[in-house]
Structure 1
Amino acid sequence: MKREHTNGQRANQAKMRVFLIVLALLAAGQSMALSQELGPVTNLPLPRFVSMKAAEGYARHGPGKTHRIDWVYKQRNQPLEITAEYGHWRRVRDRDGVGGWMHYSLLSGTRTVLVEADLVSLLRIPEEGAQVNAHVEQGVIARLGKCLPDWCRITAGGRSGWVRKTVLWGVAPDELRD
Structure 2
Amino acid sequence: MNRCAFLIPFAALALSAGAAASAANDEKVPYWASIDADIANLRVGPGESYRIDWVYRRPHLPVKVLRREGPWRLIEDPDGSKGWMRDLLLSRQRAGMVKDGSLIEMRAEGKSSGAMLWRVEPGVVGLLGECKDSWCPFDTDGHKGFVREDQLWGTGAP
TM range (shorter): 0.7 to 0.9
- Rg (Cα) greater in structure: 1
The share of aligned pairs that are identical, in percent, is 33
Query: Is residue 2:56 matched to residue 1:73?
Result: yes
Task: Deviation per CA, 1:87-125: give whole Å up to 9, x if none.
Answer: 000001101111201111111111111011432111122
Query: Is residue 2:150 matched to residue 1:166?
Result: yes
Gaps of 5+ in 1: 1-38
Task: Deviation per CA, 1:52-106: give whole Å up to 9, x if none.
Answer: 1111111111111111222221211111110000000000110111120111111
Structure with higher RCO (Cα < 8 A, 6+ apart): 2
Task: Report deviation, 1:40.
Answer: 8.8
Task: Report deviation, 1:130.
Answer: 2.2
TM-score, normalised to structure 2, is: 0.78
TM-score, normalised to structure 1, is: 0.70
Instruction: Name the CA distance, whole Å, in 2 between partners of 1:88 and 1:94.
Output: 18
Task: Deviation per CA, 1:132-157: give whole Å up to 9, x if none.
Answer: 12221111111101201411111113
Instruction: Name the CA distance, whole Å, in 1 between partners of 2:103 and 2:134.
Output: 19
Instruction: Name the CA distance, whole Å, in 2 between partners of 1:98 and 1:155.
Output: 25
